[in-house]
Copies of this chain bind each other. A is one copy, B any other.
Amino acid sequence: MKVSPLAPDRFPDLPNIRGVRFAAAQAGVKYKDRLDVMLAVAQPGSSVAGVFTTSATRSAPVLDCQSKLAAGASQSAHGATILVNSGNANAFTGHRGEESVRAVCQAVSSTINVPVHRVFTASTGVIGEPLPHEKIVSVIGDLDSALTENNLSDAAHAIMTTDTFAKGSHVDVKIDGTPVKIAGIAKGSGMIAPDMATMLVYIFTDAAVEPALLQDILSDLNKVTFNAITVDSDTSTSDSLMLVATGASGAPELTTRTSSDAMNFVDGLHEVMLDLAHQVVRDGEGATKFVEVRVSGAKTNDEADKVARAIANSPLVKTAIAGEDPNWGRIVMAIGKSGATADRDRITIHFGDVLVAEKGWVAKSYTEDAGARYMKQPNLEIAVDLGIAEGKAKVWTCDLTHGYISINADYRS
Contact = CB atoms under 8 A, between A and B. Distances in A.
A179 interface: no
B323 A232 contact: no
A54 B337 CA distance: 7
Nearest to A328: B128
Contacts of A96: 361
Interface string A122-136: 000011100000000
A354 to B, nearest CB: 15
Contacts of A372: 411
Interface in A316-331: 316, 319-320, 322-325, 327-330
Contacts of A409: 319-320, 322-323, 325, 400-402
A329 B234 contact: no
A237 B405 contact: no
Nearest to A57: B336
B94 A361 contact: yes
A385 to B, nearest CB: 14
Contacts of A233: 313-315
A342 B347 CA distance: 40
A237 B322 contact: no
Residue picked from A127, A234, A322, A359, most chain B C-beta under 10 Å? A234
A368 to B, nearest CB: 9
Contacts of A128: 328-329, 332, 357, 361-362
B335 A57 contact: yes
A249 B364 CA distance: 53
Interface stretch (A27-35, A104-112, A143-151, A190-198): A190-198
Contacts of A92: 329, 332, 344, 357, 360-362
B405 A401 contact: yes
A361 B127 CA distance: 10
A55 interface: yes
A128 B368 CA distance: 12
Given A328-B128, A342-B57, A411-B325, A333 B405 contact: no
Interface in A74-105: 91-96
B235 A336 contact: yes
Contacts of A10: none
Interface in A115-169: 126-128
Contacts of A330: 193-195, 234
A316 B405 contact: no
9 shortest A-B CB distances, which residue pairs? A57-B336, A55-B336, A323-B409, A235-B337, A194-B333, A319-B408, A94-B361, A127-B329, A94-B360
Given A57-B347, A194-B316, A402-B402, 19 more contacts: A56-B338, A56-B340, A56-B342, A56-B344, A57-B342, A95-B345, A96-B361, A127-B329, A128-B362, A190-B316, A195-B330, A234-B333, A315-B315, A315-B404, A319-B408, A320-B408, A320-B409, A322-B409, A325-B409
